[in-house]
């Protein structure tokens, strides 16, 4: 027996070494952890149960029969994050660059199927060069099966991807179909084809960072939802994210104990909105002052900063926040902001996370740039997302809610459950200047009359009361009591039941 046990230990040790000490050292020299070290940093201590450690590829082309590496370039299994089950796979770059063979794909598929069957989140740690070139169509087929499962699991269990090294081909397409992608700065890249292929095909010279680094994907392409300085920070932040998420679309959001009183009054919010309606203020301050313990996990922090999206908690339960940011482009809705917020609202709706919307929006951004870029279609995404969402929706208008953007931002008309306004709210088709120029064009040469019309317009429309008179606003609230109001509203909505008509699926403008 002891011989068998020794052999097991020996085989395990051989598998754990992956592509060998030299490649592990090279991995460390690049500032990266190995696949197993990453799993260890992410999961609760000693909770990892590995599967398929001894799996070997079956390829015999291009001398591959001589290349035998137990585990075949990916470490898979399950463990816990703060006690909750999570499935995990981590690409092992030291084994043929983490590339995916047929058997490597079968390991991932096994984990995907288990995660879906057992309704628990799955996280993929990517550091890999896509389909294993030596395997040809077998590798492509393997990817196809991974993609198919990504799609079937979408909206059922949270799927998270962390890009921790150079990733290409299937190792960017599979993450692209998951809910969130995070990257590690200066050492992770995502591209369909790398700089060498780009040079050959288009003659364009570009570095890996310029083509697909975290700086590009968090600010320009919006492929990535966030980036961190190193592996450990990224993995610790992923643990934080998991704590915000339910295990599946039928699981409740986790309840985290909080010592922050639900009825905490924040006097400083009474002076958050400046007297001058054109002066910006930081909407993040409102979010941070209303969530439990100021703990807010922002999604897409560096992209379309005119809208803020992220998770916080009220009374220990997760809430998705969407908020216009007056500090950036006056909080206007443009194509990027609309797409960003639409995707976030749809995630929340799929996973039964209530949405709180803070509104200060002067409208949609005008101009050829936006119109040619499809503003109508992109703006419609956000409208569509809010309108189809059946989760509890609580809205607070802090200042401007102008034009179509008023409708879009979780208004009463899109089945907003509780719609509050601060006394500083201005709900109208447009601001006073634009409105007067259109409806009193005949008086434009008479400054006195124009001043009077402007004052009349401001009196009548630039307040929350016209909307409140119609019942479009349920209550005008004191800014300082926003947290208390939200807590009560969300508590009241806990058993909300609302179903959309049966359909195969909707046809959201893509």
Closer CB to ligand HXC, 93 or 182, in the complex: 93
Near ligand HXC by CB under 6 A, which window of 77-85, 95-103, 153-161, 364-372?
Answer: 95-103
Residue 392 has which token pair? 């509890």
| Residue 99 in contact with ligand HXC, rule: CB under 6 A | yes
Catalytic residue status for 403: no
* Shortest distance (Å) from residue 129 CB to ligand HXC: 3
Q: According to CB under 6 A, which one of 41, 53, 140, 265 is a site residue for ligand HXC?
A: 140
Closer CB to ligand HXC, 194 or 464, in the complex: 194
Near ligand HXC by CB under 6 A, which window of 91-99, 344-352, 398-406, 494-502?
Answer: 91-99
Closer CB to ligand HXC, 192 or 288, in the complex: 192
The Cα–Cα gap between 458 and 463 comes to 8
Closer CB to ligand HXC, 75 or 307, in the complex: 75
Closer CB to ligand HXC, 192 or 466, in the complex: 192
The helix/strand/coil state of 191 is strand
Cβ neighbourhood burial of 372 (10 Å; 0-12, 13-18, 19+): exposed
Q: Which helix (H) or strand (E) holds 120?
A: none
Catalytic residue status for 405: yes
The Cα–Cα gap between 216 and 180 comes to 16
Closer CB to ligand HXC, 143 or 244, in the complex: 143
The Cα–Cα gap between 319 and 419 comes to 16
* Shortest distance (Å) from residue 19 CB to ligand HXC: 7
- Cβ neighbours of 58 (radius 10 Å): 13
Near ligand HXC by CB under 6 A, which window of 53-61, 113-121, 123-131, 449-457?
Answer: 123-131
The Cα–Cα gap between 329 and 122 comes to 37
| Residue 18 in contact with ligand HXC, rule: CB under 6 A | no
* Shortest distance (Å) from residue 171 CB to ligand HXC: 7
Q: Check residue 63 and report its DSSP letter.
A: G
| Residue 124 in contact with ligand HXC, rule: CB under 6 A | no
Near ligand HXC by CB under 6 A, which window of 10-18, 161-169, 275-283, 417-425?
Answer: 161-169
* Shortest distance (Å) from residue 174 CB to ligand HXC: 8
| Residue 438 in contact with ligand HXC, rule: CB under 6 A | no
| Residue 130 in contact with ligand HXC, rule: CB under 6 A | yes
* Helix and strand numbers, DSSP H then E, in the chain: 19, 17
Residues that bind ligand HXC (rule: CB under 6 A) add up to a total of 16
Which of 304, 405, 421, 467 is labelled catalytic?
A: 405
- Residues numbered 190 to 209 that lie near ligand HXC (CB under 6 A) are 194
The Cα–Cα gap between 175 and 372 comes to 29
The Cα–Cα gap between 473 and 419 comes to 5
* Shortest distance (Å) from residue 324 CB to ligand HXC: 36
Closer CB to ligand HXC, 131 or 428, in the complex: 131
Following DSSP, what letter does each residue of 336-354 receive, concatenated?
HHHHHHHHHHHHHHHTT--
* Shortest distance (Å) from residue 12 CB to ligand HXC: 23
What are the helix (H) ranges across 351-439? 368-372, 375-388, 403-408, 432-439
| Residue 132 in contact with ligand HXC, rule: CB under 6 A | yes
Residue matched to tokens 């990224």: 234
Cβ neighbourhood burial of 90 (10 Å; 0-12, 13-18, 19+): buried
- Cβ neighbours of 418 (radius 10 Å): 21
Closer CB to ligand HXC, 1 or 201, in the complex: 201
Q: According to CB under 6 A, which one of 6, 11, 28, 133 is a site residue for ligand HXC?
A: 133
Q: Which helix (H) or strand (E) holds 49?
A: strand 49-51
| Residue 439 in contact with ligand HXC, rule: CB under 6 A | no
Q: According to CB under 6 A, which one of 59, 81, 96, 291 is a site residue for ligand HXC?
A: 96
Closer CB to ligand HXC, 190 or 389, in the complex: 190
Q: According to CB under 6 A, which one of 71, 79, 124, 169 is a site residue for ligand HXC?
A: 169
| Residue 142 in contact with ligand HXC, rule: CB under 6 A | no
Closest CA to 339 of 304, 390, 292, 391: 304
Which of 124, 170, 194, 416 is labelled catalytic?
A: 170
The helix/strand/coil state of 420 is strand
Catalytic residue status for 404: yes
Alpha-carbon dihedral of residues 146, 152, 157, 161, nearest 10 degrees?
30
Q: According to CB under 6 A, which one of 51, 173, 262, 440 is a site residue for ligand HXC?
A: 173
| Residue 168 in contact with ligand HXC, rule: CB under 6 A | yes
The helix/strand/coil state of 254 is coil
Residue 447 has which token pair? 């400054």
Query: Positive or negative, the Cα torsion across 382, 370, 285, 312?
Result: positive
| Residue 101 in contact with ligand HXC, rule: CB under 6 A | no
Catalytic residue status for 63: no
What is the bridge-based pairing of β-strands 317-324 and 307-314?
A: antiparallel
The Cα–Cα gap between 494 and 34 comes to 43
Closer CB to ligand HXC, 57 or 284, in the complex: 57
Closest CA to 500 of 419, 415, 404, 416: 415
| Residue 166 in contact with ligand HXC, rule: CB under 6 A | yes
Cβ neighbourhood burial of 351 (10 Å; 0-12, 13-18, 19+): buried
Q: Which sequence positions are flagged as catalytic?
A: 169-170, 404-405
Name the residues that contact ligand HXC, by CB under 6 A.
96-97, 99, 129-133, 140, 143, 166, 168-170, 173, 194
């Amino acid at each position: 027996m002891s011989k068998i046990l020794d052999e097991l230990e020996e085989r395990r040790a051989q598998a754990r070494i992956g592509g060998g000490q030299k490649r592990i050292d090279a991995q460390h020299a690049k500032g990266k952890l190995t696949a197993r070290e990453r799993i260890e940093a992410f999961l609760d201590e000693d909770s990892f149960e590995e599967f398929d450690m001894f799996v070997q590829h079956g390829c015999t082309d291009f001398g591959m029969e001589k290349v035998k590496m137990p585990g075949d370039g990916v470490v898979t299994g399950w463990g816990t994050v703060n006690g909750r089950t999570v499935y995990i796979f981590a690409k092992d770059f030291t084994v043929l660059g983490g590339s995916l063979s047929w058997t490597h794909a079968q390991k991932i598929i096994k984990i995907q199927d288990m995660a879906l069957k057992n309704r628990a989140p799955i996280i993929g740690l990517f550091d890999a060069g896509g389909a294993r070139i030596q395997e040809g169509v077998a590798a492509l087929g393997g990817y196809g099966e991974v993609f198919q499962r990504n799609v079937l699991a979408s909206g059922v269990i949270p799927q998270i991807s962390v890009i921790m090294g150079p990733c290409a081909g299937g190792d960017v397409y599979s993450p692209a179909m998951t809910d969130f992608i995070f990257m590690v700065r200066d050492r992770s890249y995502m591209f369909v084809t790398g700089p060498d292929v780009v040079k050959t095909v288009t003659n364009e010279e570009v570095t890996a960072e310029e083509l697909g680094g975290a700086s590009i994907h968090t600010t320009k392409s919006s492929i990535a939802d966030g980036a961190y300085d190193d592996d450990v920070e990224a993995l610790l932040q992923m643990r934080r994210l998991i704590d915000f998420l339910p295990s599946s679309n039928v699981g409740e959001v986790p309840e985290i104990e909080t010592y922050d009183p639900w009825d905490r009054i924040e006097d400083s919010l009474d002076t958050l909105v400046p007297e001058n309606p054109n002066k910006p203020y930081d909407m993040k301050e409102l979010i941070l002052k209303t969530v439990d313990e100021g703990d807010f996990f922002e999604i897409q922090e560096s992209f379309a900063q005119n809208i803020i999206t992220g998770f916080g908690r009220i009374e220990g339960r997760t809430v998705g926040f969407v908020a216009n940011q007056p500090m950036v482009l006056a909080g206007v809705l443009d194509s990027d902001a609309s797409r960003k917020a639409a995707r976030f609202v749809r995630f929340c709706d799929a996973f039964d996370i209530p949405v709180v919307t803070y509104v200060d929006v002067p409208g949609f951004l005008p101009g050829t740039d936006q119109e040619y870029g499809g503003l109508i279609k992109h703006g419609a995404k956000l409208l569509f997302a809010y309108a189809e969402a059946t989760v509890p929706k609580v809205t607070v208008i802090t200042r401007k809610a102008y034009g179509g953007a008023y409708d879009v931002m979780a208004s009463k008309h899109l089945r907003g459950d509780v719609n509050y306004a601060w006394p500083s709210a201005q709900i109208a088709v447009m601001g006073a200047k634009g409105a007067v120029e259109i409806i009193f064009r005949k008086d434009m040469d008479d400054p006195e009359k124009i001043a009077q019309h402007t004052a009349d317009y401001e009196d009548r429309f630039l307040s929350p009361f016209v909307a409140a008179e119609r019942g479009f606003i349920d209550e005008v609230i004191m800014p300082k009591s926003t947290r208390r109001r939200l807590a009560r509203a969300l508590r009241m909505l806990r058993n909300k039941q609302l179903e959309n008509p049966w359909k195969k699926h909707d046809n959201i403008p893509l």
